[in-house]
Amino acid sequence: MDPIRLFSIISWILLPTVMFGGYSLLGLMARGNTWLTPFRGTYFRAGHAHAGVLLVLSLVYYTYLAQTTFSASLKVVACIVLLTGILAQSGGFFLHMLVGKQGRLSSGNMVTMLGALLLAFAVLLLAYGLIAAHI
């Protein structure tokens, strides 16, 4: 199977999990759940929002990646880096929600920063591929 098609399918499958996350957050807020402190609520929303926006962005990314002259293996690498970056960036917020403390860095923050670096690399790789395809 074409790697871009495969990763597009993965992103489409992951989108309902983000939708369920929004439903879960709404349920916790509506019930006045004491576990969802303002600190946890902030990081739950941040992880949820980043996951949703970045997954939708991934679908655009795959469309442009198809326009590059990259080899199939490099396209697979680009897709893996992008998806790993999305999972790390949004997942880091959730991890910080669980283990972090107000005003302190945690392993969750480190995972979020790693995700940001992976996303930046994936986007710059795509930009290079688009430029190289038209030279």
Q: Count CA atoms within 13 Å of residue 65 on its CB side.
A: 29
Residue labelled with tokens 């688009």: 130
Of how many residues is the chain composed? 135
Instruction: Quick: pLDDT tens for 6-45.
Output: 999 999 999 999 999 888 888 888 887 788 899 999 999 9
Q: What is the pTM of this model?
A: 0.92
Task: Tell me the average pLDDT of the chain.
Answer: 95
Instruction: Quick: pLDDT tens for 44-78.
Output: 999 999 999 999 999 999 999 999 999 999 999 99
